A and B are shown apart, each in its own frame.
Chain A
Amino acid sequence: MSTLKVLIVDDEKGMREGMSRALQNYTMKLQDIDEEITFRTEFAENGDEAIIKYRAYNPDILLLDYKLPDITGLEILEKLETNEETTLTIMVTAYASLETAVSAIRAGAFDFLAKPFTPQELRNTVSKAAQSLILARQVKKLSEERKQVRFQFISVLGHELKSPLSAIDGYLNMMKESILGSNLESYKDIIARCLVRTDQMKKLIVDLLEMTKIESGNRDREIISVNLTEIANMSVENVLPDATKRNINIQIHTKEPVIILADPIEMEIILNNLVSNAVKYNRENGKVDIILDKDQQYIRIIVKDTGIGMTEEETKKLFKEFVRIKNSKTKDILGSGLGLSTIKKIAQLYNGDVNVVSEPDVGSTFTVLLKSENINTSN
């Protein structure tokens, strides 16, 4: 519930009190955003008082009598230089001519109310102004929030890009100063770490480009019939060298080839990310199960590992951008922190979602749900 401040400017006492009564006992409902609005009133009886009260009270709505003893409503509007984002003015007048209406609107009034009017007419006009004001504020707030999220993203991205560079920079300087002597052999570890950090940076950039493509909607999506089982096979192939080295067994479980109407590249991103995570965060001699499943409504992609797992608290923030679970178990695992947030974005394109169930040191199960019909192709 929010309360809007109304400044009533009229030289007739009865008029001021009547308008105030009509608004004070009134609660309006804004259906679109499910909010109730009430009104608080304040008065001024002449031009000078109106200007002082306006500046002190910062009303959301100004009910302004057109004809005051010392000044006209239009002149007050000009003096106040009201800003439509903060205050909407409703001009009230006994001379209901088109001419006054036009000049009032031109001077910045939002609406016009002709005397005599009923309490209900006043409420209707004020409601219209309130609605317009609140919706405009809502829109502004949303776009501000979006801007903030963007700034935050860029600042985290800057950090993520800079830290590998400073690590490599540090190592190169050590080499330049021949800190470990003149034998190249002594620098083996350092060179290996430099390569790890460049790989990490490369992965970050690839994931970032992938995510931007999905998010911008600029990529031409190609919705065709895709065999998910084939894509899963390819994803397994990609991680096989790594999996074999650590003796991790990967199995795909599907009754029949699962076919979906989808963009093949998006399906590849989902499966590649999930399968490579399941291997990366697994233990030696572990297992990865990929289950593909389809019913009338949904396609399910389930990837289950026997890896390091996560606490419930950690799973909650997992799908946000740049979230990486940092602990001693993950320190040598490469990741950009973008893969899962990209999966979530893709799933949403298919009216679906992604979730995870996990237990520390037991493993994690990721489930991606995609709606098999009503595929959203507009984006």
Chain B
Amino acid sequence: MQDSKKKVLLVDDDIDLLYQNSILLKQNGFEVITAENQKQAEELIKSIKPDIVVTDLMMEELDAGFTLAHHIKQVDDNIPIIIVTGVAQETGMRFFSGTEEEKGWTKADTILSKPIRFEQLLQEIKKLLAID
């Protein structure tokens, strides 16, 4: 692990999930900033540069996560983004298999389906940040 802590921006409208993941991430050596919706996250992005963003998909709007990802990539194309969604679980819909074409379309580097274990999230974050 590097000397300086990596900064994670967590976005979710369920404050309990925010709380849980931020405690767990902090214990794993990350600095955590949280936002409860897309707007707040976009506001934060103006002043804080996170190393990675983990966002829920459905918040104030059904596709808030996609819109947010788009916005963040416009601000800085190098920030990796993980979208976490319950869509697949609730509707049986699958729309992401990780091809380059889909990455371009969704602007997310990884899409994870809920329910998701913290270890899995941690692993994905480490992978995108190239941490062992």
Measured CB to CB, the residues of A under 8 A from B are 155, 158-159, 163, 166-167, 170-171, 174, 179-180, 193, 197, 326-328, 331
B17-A167 in contact (CB<8A): yes
Chain A neighbourhood of B102, CB < 8 A: none
Taken residue by residue from 101 to 131, chain B's Cβ proximity to chain A (1 for < 8 Å, 0 otherwise) reads as 0000000000000110000000000000000
B23-A174 in contact (CB<8A): yes
Number of interface residues of B (CB under 8 A): 20
The answer to whether A326 and B60 touch (CB under 8 A), given A163-B14, A331-B36, is: yes
Mark out the residues of chain B between 27 and 81 whose CB falls within 8 Å of any chain A CB in the assembled complex. Answer: 27, 36-37, 40, 59-60
B17-A170 in contact (CB<8A): yes
B86-A167 in contact (CB<8A): no
A158-B16 in contact (CB<8A): no
B88 contacts the other chain (CB 8 A): no
Measured CB to CB, the residues of B under 8 A from A are 13-17, 19-20, 23-24, 27, 36-37, 40, 59-60, 86, 90-91, 114-115
B115-A166 in contact (CB<8A): yes
The answer to whether A174 and B36 touch (CB under 8 A), given A158-B90, A166-B115, is: no
A170-B60 in contact (CB<8A): no
A155-B19 in contact (CB<8A): no
Q: Choose from A155, A174, A327, A328 the contact partner of B20 (Cβ within 8 Å).
A: A174
Q: A180-B23, A331-B15 are in contact. List 13 more A-B contacts (CB 8 A).
A: A155-B90, A158-B90, A159-B86, A166-B17, A167-B17, A171-B16, A179-B24, A193-B16, A193-B19, A197-B16, A326-B60, A327-B60, A328-B36
B36-A167 in contact (CB<8A): no
**Sample of 11 A–B contacts (CB below 8 Å):** A158-B90, A163-B14, A166-B115, A167-B17, A167-B20, A170-B17, A171-B20, A174-B23, A193-B19, A197-B16, A326-B59
Q: Smallest distance from the beta carbon of A119 to chain B beta carbons, Å?
A: 53
Q: Choose from A155, A179, A331 the contact partner of B23 (Cβ within 8 Å).
A: A179
Q: Roughly how many angstroms separate A331 CA and B15 CA in the complex, as a whole number?
A: 8
Chain B neighbourhood of A180, CB < 8 A: 23
Q: Roughly how many angstroms separate A199 CA and B53 CA in the complex, as a whole number?
A: 31
Of the listed residues A166, A171, A179, the one surrounded by the most CB atoms of chain B closer than 10 A to its CB is: A166
Q: Smallest distance from the beta carbon of A187 to chain B beta carbons, Å?
A: 11
Chain A neighbourhood of B86, CB < 8 A: 159
Q: Smallest distance from the beta carbon of A304 to chain B beta carbons, Å?
A: 27
A167-B23 in contact (CB<8A): no
Q: Roughly how many angstroms separate A179 CA and B15 CA in the complex, as a whole number?
A: 18
The answer to whether A167 and B14 touch (CB under 8 A), given A158-B90, A159-B86, A331-B36, is: yes
Q: Roughly how many angstroms separate A331 CA and B17 CA in the complex, as a whole number?
A: 13
Chain A neighbourhood of B59, CB < 8 A: 326
Q: Roughly how many angstroms separate A167 CA and B114 CA in the complex, as a whole number?
A: 12
Q: Choose from B13, B17, B19, B40 the contact partner of A326 (Cβ within 8 Å).
A: B13
Chain B neighbourhood of A327, CB < 8 A: 37, 60
Q: Roughly how many angstroms separate A296 CA and B23 CA in the complex, as a whole number?
A: 61
Q: Smallest distance from the beta carbon of A308 to chain B beta carbons, Å?
A: 16
Q: Smallest distance from the beta carbon of B8 to chain A beta carbons, Å?
A: 17
Closest 9 CB pairs of A and B: A167-B16, A170-B20, A193-B16, A163-B14, A331-B15, A159-B90, A155-B90, A166-B115, A326-B60
